[in-house]
Amino acid sequence: MIVDPGIPLVNRSDAYPPYSSGTAADVWIRGVQGDVWVGNVWPGACVFPNFLLNRTVAWWEETVRAFHDKVSSHEVSRQRVHLTPALLWSFLRTHTNL
């Protein structure tokens, strides 16, 4: 199974629990002006966890644990976080001097 950290941007915060809990925990990557950075990946517009923050790591662990508890451990024997080089490059071009 691939666990993608791109969380779909939704109009209602209660529509997708990872989005609402991540927003409440203030874990999203922010641009230099302080706005939440939005990128486009397979589900469309997404926000992304800032794994440089300890609170984000704790939030991610809890979110993945809650998901894992809902499916059998047989189905989720291996997990991989999917973050494409194109997405990283897009972020770096937008928020650095590259």
Residue-wise pLDDT for 43-92, tens only, equals 789 999 999 999 999 999 998 888 777 765 555 555 555 555 565 566 56
Q: Would the pLDDT of 96 be above 60?
A: no
Buried b (16+ CB within 10 A) or exposed e, 51-80: eeeeebeebbeebbeeeeeeeeeeeeeeee
Provide the number of structural domains found in the chain.
1
Out of 4-13, 23-32, 66-75, least confident range: 66-75
Q: Supply the range of the domain harboring residue 26.
A: 2-95
Structure confidence at residue 98 (pLDDT)? 45
Q: Would the pLDDT of 3 be above 60?
A: yes
- Closest by alpha carbon to 95, among 43, 23, 37, 27? 37
30: pLDDT confidence band, cut at 50, 70 and 90? very high
